[in-house]
Amino acid sequence: MHSKSAYLTLCFLLFLPLASNGGGDVNILVNPGFEAGMDGWADRNCAIAAVTSPVHGGSGGAKAYERTADWQGIKQSLWGKLVEGKPYKISGWIRLDNAPSGPVALSVEQQDDGGTNYHNVASATATNDEWIKLSGEFTLTVTGALSVLDLYFEGPAPGVDFYVDDVSVLGPKFIPPPPVPVAPEATGRVDVGARRQKIEGLGASGAFYTSNFLGHAQKTRLYELLFKDLGLDIFRIRNTHDIDETAFREMIEIAKGGEAALGRDLKIMVSSWSPPVALKSNNSLIGGTLAKRDGKFAYSEFAQWWQDGLKAYAEAELRVDYISIQNELNYEAKWDSCKFAPTESADAALAGHDVAFDAVWQKLNAETGADAPKMLAPETTSIGDARSYIESMSDLSRVYGYAHHLYDCSDCGSTPDRYLSKMVAFDRFNAENGGKPVFQTEYEFEPNKWSGAMNTALLMHNSLTAENVSGYLYWDLFWGPGSGLVVLEDASSFTIQPAYRAFKQYSAFIDADWQRVDAATDSPGLRISAFVSPDEKKLTAIIINTTPETEVALTLSLDGFSASRGEAYRSSETEECVRVEGFTGSGPVKLPAKSITTLSLAASE
């Protein structure tokens, strides 16, 4: 089976239930009155919190605060909960906190193959002395595959806080179809002759918490875990030249320590979170855009800052392989950031990424020529937003590869197949715009549960096989308490998160310059991908058993590769990349439910 056809079929089947009918009208929301705190709810790029006063009813409510834009507020995903074509009555109560009055709205954001649409359900003027009710109707109509459907409250001016309570979405309850039965035996096929993308590498970021890492009592063990054991190919760091020289030196030290642990070079990717404040429109590392000089954006100074930073890396004997001139350039962040438009708007409110990119490219190539690092663009927060930036660039021959993150799909980390239509669409777009290597340079979701680890594996699988990415980077290789592949709990202890196991099943067995080859199985519960080494002496196949309960025995045939020996390694809720006894490269391999198995095969001499 051709892999792209398989995913298009899967994508279609995944969203087919939206057309199914449901039962009688019910409130389909989770925790509609906030009696269980913020369970089921999420922020829309602002702070949110549960409150006990003021409330409209019951004992709980919610508050949205630290808002920097009128669209920011409180949301809940309706994805997979609504029946297409059926009307739903939506309502909720809202009041302001720190302003006497202001506009408020109840809206729905919808993303599908037709693009992104914002539906206004109800609007009104709210006050800070009484609750008002917003109510209206919404009927879902989907174009292609639906990936995002969020109900949210928005409206007041930036800086105005507001409360929400007693929300309802009344309509027929969505009834999912019964799961497809999975047989305990399956067959699969790897076709080494059917070649796909070359792999640039698998990696992760070490952009923050560098002093915690270097000061850790178990630093030597951390180097082994994060670089040697993971077999890391790409290490993404933050350009803090002329901003935080201590952090700049620390990132270089960790990169060199990682190379020493690996016993080989790392590919270094450098991204800018923000240029220095002297180059910012708001004289702050947070927010804003490039500064202006005599009415024009300081593109040449921005390019010089990049050149000076790369010279500092070179003087420290660290070779930089890739750069991205701005991390998440399309996002109004509350941390170090700098916003660029695809190209300068008529009012010149934002600097243009197209001009900034060309200025940096020209500067680096004039100074270093063939030794200049490969430039990636545009490193947006999302797949979809990347397209407008790429289409605005004047000379795509200057772009080595396209880069993006995966933060445009609300709650999709828990259901990774919702990305499939976006991935397939971007792969098609890439083929029409240069056919360049694609890098997913930052993402994480639910790193502290095995379900999150399984989703990490599924997202990597989908990225590699549906979008054909050449590079996949997890976000935080290490972090402070609560996050990261490895959590630095304090100065002497750390925790290995379940997502580490999922990532290792890929990164420890695939290296840069390997190539993906076609692979498929006849089981709807299995996902398989395969990769061959440049000398064709090694073959790696990764199989994910997505079923909740069924162990599957997979018999795998290999076209174009004769295995003389092999080993299998497995991760599950109770196993961490353990060697599976008894597998020698042939015969069925047992795949427990909710597990990830990697086959590492060697060719016959």
Q: Residues with Cβ < 8 Å from 244, sequence gap 6 or more? A: none
- Mean model confidence pLDDT for the chain: 94
Residue 191: the pLDDT is 97
- Distances, alpha carbon 343 to alpha carbons 58, 390, 440, in Å: 50, 10, 23
Question: What does DSSP assign to residue 417?
Answer: G
- Residue 183 is predicted with a pLDDT of 96
Q: 172 phi and psi, to 5 degrees?
A: -65, 140
Residues in CB range of 350: below 8 A, 6 or more apart: 289, 339, 340, 341, 344
Q: Is 21-172 assigned to CATH 3.10.310.50?
A: no
The pLDDT-based confidence of 523 (bands split at 50, 70, 90) is very high
For residue 302, pLDDT beyond 90: yes
pLDDT tens readout for residues 268-291: 999 999 999 999 999 999 999 999
Can you give the pLDDT at residue 569?
97
Q: Strand 101-112 relative to strand 87-96: parallel, antiparallel, unpaired?
A: unpaired
pLDDT one-digit tens code per residue, 213-242 = 999 999 999 999 999 999 999 999 999 999
Return the bridge partners of 94, or none: 132, 164
**Identity at 313, one-letter amino acid code:** Y
% of residues, the chain, pLDDT over 90: 88
Tell me: pLDDT of 441 over 70.
Answer: yes
Give the whole-number percent of the chain exceeding pLDDT 70.
96
Q: In this predicted model, what pLDDT tens digit does every residue of 135-185 receive, in sequence order?
A: 999 999 999 999 999 999 999 999 999 999 999 999 998 988 888 899 999
Q: Could you report the per-residue pLDDT of 5-44, keeping only the tens digit for each?
A: 444 444 444 444 444 444 578 999 999 999 999 999 999 9
SS3 sequence, 519-568? EEECCCCEEEEEEECCCCCEEEEEEEECCCCCCEEEEEEEECCCEEEEEE
What kind of fold does domain 200-512 have according to CATH?
TIM Barrel (3.20.20)
Q: What is the pLDDT of residue 166?
A: 98
Mean pLDDT score, 540-556: 97
Closest Cα to residue 17, out of 83, 62, 70? 83
For the residues 535-551, what does the mean pLDDT come to? 97
Give the pLDDT of residue 3. Answer: 46
Specify the pLDDT at position 18: 43
Q: Where are the domains of the chain?
A: 21-172, 185-192+518-603, 200-512
Between CA 278 and CA 337 the distance in angstroms is 14
pLDDT of res. 313:
97
CATH T-level topology, domain 185-192+518-603: Immunoglobulin-like (2.60.40)
Across residues 572-585, what is the average pLDDT? 89
Task: Identify the band that residue 202 occupies on the pLDDT scale cut at 50, 70 and 90.
Answer: very high
Token pair for 414 = 């828990």
Model pLDDT, residue 5: 41
Choose among 59, 58, 70, 122: nearest CA to 96. Answer: 70
What does pTM read for this prediction?
A: 0.92
Give SS3 for 369: helix
Is the pLDDT confidence value at 584 over 80? Answer: no
Q: In DSSP terms, which residues pair with 234 in a beta bridge?
A: 203, 267
- In this prediction, residue 334 has a pLDDT band, given cuts at 50, 70 and 90, of confident
What is the rounded distance in angstroms from the CA atom of residue 408 to the CA atom of residue 403? Answer: 14
Q: What is the pLDDT of residue 346?
A: 82
Q: Is 258 exposed, middle or buried (0-12, 13-18, 19+ CB in 10 A)?
A: buried
Q: Where are the beta strands (DSSP E) in 78-184?
A: 87-96, 101-112, 115-127, 132-139, 146-154, 162-172
Beta bridge partners of 518: 191
Q: Annotate 476-520 with DSSP letters as a single string.
A: ESEESTT-SSEEE-SSS-EEE-HHHHHHHHHHTT--TT-EEEEEE
> Which of 419, 414, 464, 443 has its CA nearest to residue 112?
419
pLDDT, tens only, 446-462: 778 999 999 999 999 99
Instruction: Express each pLDDT in 307-319 by its tens digit.
Output: 999 999 999 999 9
Average pLDDT estimate for 394-411: 93
The pLDDT, as a whole number, for residue 231 is 98
